[in-house]
């Protein structure tokens, strides 16, 4: 019987200590015939480090929260065949349901194959689609490839949801022998890590999807634009490209055909605006990342003014599966307007934070509560931010909204690239809007006045409100400015920057009013609006709060009720944390 142990070493796993677990297993298994290998992130980030045990190719054990001291126990149990000692580490049925309720296409190999081995990728079907396309006997023409993508209904997963086949066809129809295929891996949304996980866990799927796209449009050079903050993703992609080149999938006359394509990586500096395709092209050309006026579109005049096609990582990760299984199979999943599956990064106040891939058409409630396990630490669901800084907040009353492009847009949010930040009742929605405006104001390239100045003014108003300095008319001014920025900005960053403000005003207007008119934060998170009080009826005069206070703002005699000097109090909450009688409250 062949036994293989695989350690999840995506960025999340390594951050949780997976490398030390791997080293411990390597030492404990020394001299045995059990193989030890690496896999990427399977999406269960809250359970890392994760160790999987395979017997004759079948998964028999999934062990979670593994620590270095567990490695000897694991090695002895696997070698002896007596797995009883693994029970405390074994994943629960409840946590296992996180995967069983998903449908995985883009993530189909993540956490299963070795991302640093092309043979592992090929054993899982890697490069079979491009091999079929370039076959002399039953190959596919570029037009047939585009038609297959058209039938699938695959839309760009980077946020805009534009039909992939249309962009490919436009680039193919553009005149010229020099064309470029580009992958946008400049994933900049706070809380989003879908593209990083795919590249770290299954880089060959990205390469194969890009090869198929390059063949379809007639490009001889493919470029992956990835942010430099993803060092592990870049390292594994570089290795995968080298392996694919050596195996004959990259370079001249690929697999003996007339198709030739070279690959290279461009590490970007991490500017959010470079997620916009024309700003990305400017950066590729060595210029400052700033959007161009459109038209012309990249399909006509893109990189070096040559016809170019740009899609994101998740879009390309679906392509090989579609070619292998047929466009109809992909189109059979999802809704009438949104086909296939979508990957989301579940973060925030969620029990099971990680990567989720579901068919379009599921509801937000199903994703957050059935798959994500609901709100952690006993909190109550309040809202979910969809689409990152360009998206909007969706309240509890709309939890049964179906996930597709049109339905989400109707709520004031957007699908975006797939960020899903869950918030509970301890989240201040005014402060949340401020957080995203802080981000977009800093990330604005400054090319157009509406975005450069408008986002800054919005940020200033929101800052004033959360500091208790809001005034009548601020809500109306916010709405007026939001509409002006949205209508006047040059690119998608500025046009969507007001979305978090407009959606919170739409669904949580009362919180804005409480901040402005009552100088009160209902969520008790805006420090300047908090006021700590001691109930004299409950206070026993134990002096614990006074001794803990870092600024001596609390006074009172022993066994007598104490008081807090509001002018001195820095609102750190230490008094509340040490009071055993519930005498300290905050309003």
The CATH number assigned to the domain holding 90 equals: 3.40.30.10
pLDDT of residue 429: 97
Closest by Cα among 281, 291, 309 to 166: 309
From 424, 457, 482, the end of a domain falls on 424
In a domain, 335, yes or no: no
Residues 212 and 235 in one domain: yes
Q: In whole angstroms, what is the distance from residue 298 CA to residue 277 CA?
A: 8
Residues 243 and 305 in one domain: yes
Q: What is the pTM of this model?
A: 0.93
In a domain, 232, yes or no: yes
- Which residue is listed with tokens 């980030």? 45
User: Which residue range is the domain that position 50 belongs to?
Assistant: 3-98
Residues 511 and 536 in one domain: no
Q: In whole angstroms, what is the distance from residue 383 CA to residue 425 CA?
A: 8
In a domain, 105, yes or no: no
Residues 467 and 443 in one domain: yes
pLDDT of residue 484: 96
The CATH number assigned to the domain holding 283 equals: 3.40.50.11540
From 33, 63, 98, the end of a domain falls on 98
Q: In whole angstroms, what is the distance from residue 433 CA to residue 439 CA?
A: 10
- CB contact at 8 A, 227 and 189: no
- CB contact at 8 A, 230 and 203: no
Q: In whole angstroms, what is the distance from residue 167 CA to residue 219 CA?
A: 13
Residues 511 and 556 in one domain: no
pLDDT of residue 150: 98
Residues 321 and 377 in one domain: no
Residues 468 and 564 in one domain: no
The CATH number assigned to the domain holding 536 equals: 3.30.70.20
Q: Which helix (H) or strand (E) segment is 227 a member of?
A: strand 221-227
| CA of residue 16 relative to chain centroid, distance | 18
Residues 72 and 134 in one domain: no
Residue 145 zone, left/alpha/beta (φ > 0; ψ -120 to 50; rest): alpha
In a domain, 524, yes or no: no
Residues 183 and 242 in one domain: yes
Residue 190 bridge partners (DSSP): none
Sheet containing strand 262-268, edge to edge, reads 262-268, 221-227, 180-185, 308-312
pLDDT of residue 203: 98
Q: Does the bond joining 166 to the residue before it have cis omega, within 30 degrees of 0?
A: no
Q: In whole angstroms, what is the distance from residue 374 CA to residue 368 CA?
A: 6
In a domain, 108, yes or no: no
The CATH number assigned to the domain holding 365 equals: 3.10.20.600
Residues 345 and 310 in one domain: no
The CATH number assigned to the domain holding 442 equals: 1.20.1440.230
What are the tens digits of pLDDT across the range 135-168? 988 899 999 999 999 999 999 998 778 999 999 9
pLDDT of residue 211: 98
Taking the chain (587 residues) in runs of 10, the rounded mean pLDDT of each run is 95 97 96 95 97 96 98 96 96 95 97 98 98 92 98 90 95 96 92 93 98 98 96 98 98 96 94 92 95 94 97 97 98 95 96 96 97 94 92 95 94 89 96 95 94 96 96 96 95 93 97 95 92 94 94 94 93 92 91
pLDDT of residue 286: 94
| Residue 563: strand, helix, or coil | strand
In a domain, 336, yes or no: no
> What would the two tokens of residue 257 be?
């055909």
The number of distinct structural domains making up the chain is 5
Residues 419 and 434 in one domain: no
Residues 244 and 130 in one domain: yes
């Amino acid at each position: 019987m062949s036994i293989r142990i695989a350690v999840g070493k995506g960025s999340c796993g390594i951050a949780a200590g997976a490398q030390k677990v791997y080293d411990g297993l390597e030492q404990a298994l020394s001299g045995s015939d059990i193989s030890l290998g690496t896999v990427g992130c399977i999406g269960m980030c809250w359970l890392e480090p994760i160790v999987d045990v395979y017997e004759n190719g079948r998964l028999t054990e999934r062990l979670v929260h593994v620590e270095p001291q567990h490695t000897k126990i694991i090695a002895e149990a696997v070698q002896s065949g007596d797995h009883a000692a693994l029970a405390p580490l074994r994943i629960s049925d409840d946590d296992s349901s996180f995967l069983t309720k998903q449908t995985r296409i883009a993530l189909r190999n993540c956490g299963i194959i070795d991302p640093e081995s092309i043979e592992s990728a090929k054993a899982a079907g890697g490069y079979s689609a491009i091999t079929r396309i370039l076959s002399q006997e039953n190959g596919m023409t570029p037009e047939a490839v585009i038609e297959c993508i058209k039938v699938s209904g695959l839309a760009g997963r980077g946020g805009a949801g534009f039909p992939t086949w249309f962009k490919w066809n436009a680039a193919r129809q553009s005149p010229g022998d020099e064309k470029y295929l580009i992958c946008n891996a400049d994933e900049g949304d706070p809380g989003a890590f879908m593209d990083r996980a795919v590249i770290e866990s299954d880089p060959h799927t990205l390469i194969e999807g890009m090869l198929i796209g390059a063949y379809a449009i007639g490009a001889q050079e493919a470029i992956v634009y990835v942010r430099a903050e993803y060092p592990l993703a870049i390292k594994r992609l570089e290795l995968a490209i080298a392996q694919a080149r050596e195996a004959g999938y990259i370079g001249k006359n690929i697999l003996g055909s007339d198709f030739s394509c070279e690959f290279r990586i461009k590490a970007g500096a991490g500017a959010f605006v470079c997620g916009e395709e024309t700003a990305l092209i400017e950066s590729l050309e060595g210029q400052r990342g700033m959007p161009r006026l459109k038209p012309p579109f990249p399909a006509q005049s893109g990189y070096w003014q040559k016809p170019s096609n740009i899609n994101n990582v998740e879009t390309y990760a679906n392509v090989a599966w579609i070619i292998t299984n047929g466009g109809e199979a992909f189109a059979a999943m999802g809704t009438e307007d949104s086909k296939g599956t979508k990957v989301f990064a579940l973060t925030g106040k969620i029990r099971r934070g990680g990567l989720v891939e579901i068919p379009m058409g599921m509801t937000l409630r199903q994703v957050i509560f059935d798959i994500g396990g609901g709100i952690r630490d006993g909190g109550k669901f309040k809202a979910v931010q969809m689409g990152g800084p360009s998206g909007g907040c969706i309240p509890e009353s709309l939890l049964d909204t179906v996930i597709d492009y049109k339905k989400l847009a109707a709520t004031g949010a957007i699908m975006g690239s797939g960020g899903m930040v869950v918030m509970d009742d301890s989240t201040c929605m005014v402060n949340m809007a401020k957080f995203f405006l802080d981000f977009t104001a800093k990330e604005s390239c400054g090319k157009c006045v509406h975005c450069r100045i408008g986002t800054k003014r919005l940020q200033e108003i929101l800052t004033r409100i959360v500091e208790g300095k809001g005034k009548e008319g601020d809500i109306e001014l916010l709405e007026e400015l939001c509409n002006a920025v949205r209508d006047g900005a040059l690119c998608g960053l500025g046009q969507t920057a007001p979305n978090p403000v407009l959606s919170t005003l739409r669904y949580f207007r009362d919180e804005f009013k409480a901040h402005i008119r009552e100088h009160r934060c209902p969520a008790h998170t805006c420090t300047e609006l908090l006021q700590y009080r001691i109930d004299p009826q409950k206070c026993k005069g134990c002096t614990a709060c006074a001794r803990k206070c870092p600024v001596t703002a609390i006074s009172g005699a022993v066994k007598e009720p104490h008081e807090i000097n509001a002018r001195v109090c820095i609102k750190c909450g230490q008094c509340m944390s040490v009071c055993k009688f519930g005498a300290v409250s905050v309003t």
